[in-house]
Structure 1
């Protein structure tokens, strides 16, 4: 009589399990993984593997389940711990995603997310933002920006050390997602000259609603939506305060490294150039650009990239400026 174990069916090899399949998939580049390669790692036949998972997407679903289990903090977020909880979640994603070649890039690209595993991750993160004071709609928006922002940084970084330090990027991202009702830290800008007009003393700011709308558009799957967001940022570059400008610059730089649409890349570089003129953006905010190959940019747009590199990373340009890697 054939025995069954776990989720197995009669006649399946005892040495296979969903856990073993996921662990084997994590041993190489998931972006290029094939079913035949995975079967070889497991030491089973191609047909035996298909008895456990229907296709490559099924394998990636198993991998996602394992990853979500690894990164989710065990405790539940509350009003006193929600920010620390999200920070620990992001660092766990950093520590688990980066060692697996291609995984962060896979998650960052548009694809069908496993509803159970990623639904659990989304639910816990949304609960954290709710614990921090966000209403239901804003918490969902915050999760979208937070999740995409972290994953895009990790995808741009790959498995090699990168600038800016992840902690700096994460701090900037989370500061941009604070609830509207939460008290903001003092603005980090110079005092206005005494000769300014006396109409209002308020510093420029688009507000959290508009900031969230822009950041959400920047991580949209639609190239047209991303491009329109960049155009809006360029047009309103002088309307952002320091926090807003740095948050958007960080997201734009990471997006540019991953961008596959040439028109969007042009818009992202233009928006970064406009934001840099505000004086708020720091080198650490856009250092992901150092991983954008210069020869991957259209000749008409190279000037925009060169201007940013000259301003923020002159040591890397080195005069004649070989292609940036």
Structure 2
């Protein structure tokens, strides 16, 4: 008979602790051994990237992807559990495009950092849809290509002379700058793609309204006037390099300290 408390009520049996719930990510679950010979996960990811690059994140669905591959959505679920996993895989595939210099020479750390930063920015701008999901896909950083990038960046700043903890902070600072700038640029390029205009056409279309709005603000007015006639893409490159140089200037004070 179950024990009773002094008031005559049956005492509740203690609840057993609930096991921790697994983190939902393609990188935290075992890969299924039930592969369909006619369709591989690599094929699925490659076609997903084509779809994402051409039509954007909103166009991606398991059903549409299955149609493009000539297979039903059920076949895709044998390789990826859901759309979020597919995006994680696509993001890591993109990370594989980023060049991480492996130079053993500590004297070249700054040139190597510039090369890696420019490669990261260029990769993000080739796949501008990534701007809308990168901040939400925290587990994407567990993929093999993301780990390769992180290891390369740590090695770069460790070779430069920083201790491991500060090398990690330096790498995070550099990646945060590049990602922030490139995310803004990628969102802008998405707008351009939807408009059907080239970047120069878009600037020419918007400039008169922007200059009129800035008429009462002398610093803004002078800034718009200075940019008139310049190649907008070249201006973006110059602005990116300016910020990158200032970030590296700051890190250099720690490396040569």
Scaled to the shorter chain, the TM-score interval is 0.5 to 0.7
Name the residue aligned to 2:102: 75
Structure 1 unaligned regions, length at least 5: 1-6, 184-325
Tell me by how many angstroms 1:61 deviates.
2.6
Q: TM-score, normalised by structure 1?
A: 0.48
Name the residue aligned to 2:250: 176
Alignment match of 1:26 (pick from 49, 55, 60):
49
* Change over 3 Å in CA distance of 1:85–1:68 after alignment to 2: same
Q: TM-score, normalised by structure 2?
A: 0.59
1:166 aligns with 2:240: yes
- Cα RMSD over matched residues? 2.6
Name the residue aligned to 2:209: none
Tell me by how many angstroms 1:109 deviates.
4.5
* Change over 3 Å in CA distance of 1:99–1:116 after alignment to 2: closer
Higher helix share: 2
Name the residue aligned to 1:125: 153
Answer whether contact 1:18 1:62 (CA < 8 A) is retained.
no
* Residue-by-residue CA offset, 1:100-141 (whole Å, 9 max, x unaligned): 131134224463233133222112101111111211121111
* Residue-by-residue CA offset, 1:254-300 (whole Å, 9 max, x unaligned): xxxxxxxxxxxxxxxxxxxxxxxxxxxxxxxxxxxxxxxxxxxxxxx
Greater RCO, CA 8 A, separation 6+: 2
Distance 2:132 2:32 in 1: 31
Distance 1:105 1:45 in 2: 27
* Change over 3 Å in CA distance of 1:20–1:11 after alignment to 2: closer
Tell me by how many angstroms 1:10 deviates.
5.7
Number of matched residues? Answer: 176
Alignment match of 1:59 (pick from 86, 89, 104):
86
Tell me by how many angstroms 1:8 deviates.
8.2
Pairing 1:273-288 to 2, within 5 Å after superposition: none
* Structure with max Cα Rg: 2
Answer whether contact 2:35 2:79 (CA < 8 A) is retained.
no
1:50 aligns with 2:77: yes
Tell me by how many angstroms 1:52 deviates.
1.0
Name the residue aligned to 1:41: 68
